[in-house]
Structures are given as C-alpha cells and as structure tokens.
Structure 1
C-alpha cells in the first residue's frame, strides 16, 4: 500500500466531505419523539429534581437509560450535532428552554421512571405548545 498526503489524493479519487444532516428544530424534536415511540413501554429514568440544582450542575445532569440516552444513541441526532445525553447539551441541540426540558425529563413530573410513550408525548407537547392540552390534557 502506498501512502500519500490527502492533498494528493484529490487527483486520484473524487473526495467529498461527509455531509452533516441539517435538521430543523421541529425535525430534531420529531425524531426524538419517534425514537421514544419505537419502544413505548420502555421504562426510562428521569433526572432528579432538576429545578433545585445550581445551573452548572443542572446543565451537566444525565442519567443512564433516560429519554436523553435514547436521543444520544441515535446516529442521526449525533451526526446532526447532539454532543451527549446531558441536560445542557440537549437544551442547546433541541433549541428548547430549560423549562421545556424540565417538563420532559424531571422526576417531579412522573417519579423516578417514565414510560417512553409518556416521554414522547411530552416531547411532542413542547414541540407544538399550541397543542399542549391535546398531549397532556393540561393548559400551559
């Protein structure tokens, strides 16, 4: 095998940079909800009392087998820029408020565990606030 610098390979092969999918906020949230809906009865861990944590701790929060783990395990979302299954990275990637992330992920809204189907319903609720009451039966 002959080794050549990358700059020389353009003459031998058709090199194209890999394409990173550009997903809109809605597409990102829809993808997350769809991933959760694939295993509706799966029990997911919630994040413990997010609202009581200092900001730095809150942004770094994660839990094994959480709704964020489901998102981060998806190669499409990772390729699109999801950096980890931490609360702060999810807020940034999905372009949602900490309040909205709290509604989806916090233990105060469902206990230590939540069914994936419920997490998907919450993701769809924050995606379409005008339809919030249809997803939850509550007004926002």
Structure 2
C-alpha cells in the first residue's frame, strides 16, 4: 500500500459472508437491528472456526463491539474474518463488517469485534483443536 492509499481503508481478512438485510431485519427507521448484525458476524466467524477445528465449536466470548455507522436495509453486508490466535481448544477470530449502500461506489466499515470459540465434541465437551 502506498501513501496515496492511506485515506482509503480496506477490509482485513477473508470475505466469509455476504448478505442483504431485508425490511424484517430493521427497526421503524429502516436501520438494521444490532442483534441481526451480531448474528451474521457470529455465523461468519463460526464458519472459520469450524474449518479450523474440523468439527463443532461454540461461541464463548465476543470482545467489545462499537458501531461506527448505521446499517440500512438493502445494503450489501460483507463479513471479513481473520484468525488471530489458536489455543489448545480455542480460536480467536477478528470479524470486520463492511457495507456497500445501494447508491454508493465504495464500501464503508460498520463495526468489528473479536469472537472467541472453543472446539467441542459430539457430547458438547471441550476438545483440542487439531494441529494446523
């Protein structure tokens, strides 16, 4: 990235999920519910955790989330995931959410959060993450 690009932030991580919120996902003002967005982020990060753990996993923590801008109905929502750390049984995955509004030419960042998952077996007990 050159100095000329410093004012044009780009998503970090792998594009994991894209979805468009519908009117049922919004409040009376047409803004997407925060809970709907957290659900999409959890789904995206869980997909990555499942690939890493080669099986079931469970969300155990979400570290701080701040909403930078409202998310409008009909916008294209993109979740980008980046693996931050793997422990014995846990995985930390950073999720960034970017949106492309219907009349916009560039994406803008909406929020980000660190999701922590633990690998679990078929009985719901913690298990080790396979070696990468």
Pairwise same-fold verdict (TM > 0.5) = no
TM value normalised by structure 1: 0.27
Structure of greater Rg: 1
Which of the pair is proportionally richer in strand? Answer: 2
Which of the pair is proportionally richer in helix? Answer: 1
TM value normalised by structure 2: 0.28
